Structure 1
């Protein structure tokens, strides 16, 4: 759903690291390019493996530290989908929800105006205004 394959995504992530006082090293630049250029929700180990193919000097701890700072700066979203490791995606996209395939672990992004309207209606009926929300659906492909 969200295509982040542009330099703007990398620039935004770099700006977040600079804002935290970190230098943009060659290793971090590789990690950011993978994160910004992907259309999936990789965990830290998947990011590390992809990055290490491009630069074997990258350590898993560099990936973890980079993700922690990006999350603290609000540049990425961390998702802990049921039964799996924390996964990441840039926070620069349009709001969307997730469907997680329980058999493959695939994360499918989707957006439904009907669901958004229903959530607003429910909140309003209960006397609330939605500030933020996440919707995660877990399922298996029909046979």
Structure 2
């Protein structure tokens, strides 16, 4: 799905739920899609406010992120302490995450074997999955090697 189609669908979503369709909200879809990485909302606020000539408010960013979550274009991917990390997921294939607890680096990956095992477990348990996420927390190769070099 291209960004224009996504915006049209988001506009329909807003109308169906009785929300206002504003230029700021629709422009934010472009900004968020172009951000290009995982983000905390405050990081996104600084990016949007710093690159916007429209005077978009912090509250508009927060509300729009929440609406895009409901719509399915943004998903919460990681809870780490008091931090919540999101990603723009529209048009991206399903994937999982490795999270470095030292530097915060997030590595995306996909393995058919994991998906197959989850499907098998759900089938064995007569469980209908709606969605899932897998986060593995550890130490990335860069942080591991910098620890080893300090010894």
Classify the TM-score, shorter chain. Answer: 0.7 to 0.9
Comparing 45-54 with 115-124, greater Cα deviation is found at 115-124
Cα shift at 1:38: 3.2
CA contact (8 A) 1:102 1:138 kept: yes
Cα shift at 1:131: 3.1
CA contact (8 A) 2:38 2:88 kept: no
Structure possessing the higher relative contact order (Cα contacts under 8 Å, 6 or more residues apart): 1
Q: Which residue in the other structure is 2:77 paired with?
A: 79
Matches within 5 A, 1:43-122: 43-55=40-52, 57-92=55-90, 93-122=92-121
Larger Rg: 1 or 2? 2
Provide structure 1 residue ranges, at least 5 long, that are not aligned to the other structure. Answer: 1-6
Distance across 1 between alignment mates of 2:4 and 2:65? 14
CA contact (8 A) 2:78 2:135 kept: no
CA contact (8 A) 1:71 1:77 kept: yes
Cα shift at 1:14: 5.4
Comparing 108-117 with 27-36, greater Cα deviation is found at 27-36
Q: Which residue in the other structure is 1:34 paired with?
A: 31
Task: Count residues with an aligned counterpart.
Answer: 136
Q: Does 1:138 align with 2:145?
A: no
Let me know the Cα RMSD of the aligned residues.
2.4
Cα shift at 1:127: 3.2
Q: Which residue in the other structure is 1:19 paired with?
A: 13
Distance across 1 between alignment mates of 2:39 and 2:126? 37
CA contact (8 A) 2:7 2:26 kept: no
Using the size of structure 1 for normalisation, the TM-score is: 0.78
Provide structure 2 residue ranges, at least 5 long, that are not aligned to the other structure. Answer: 146-151
Q: What is the DSSP-based 3-state SS (H/G/I as helix, E as strand, rest coil) of the residue aligned with 2:30?
A: helix
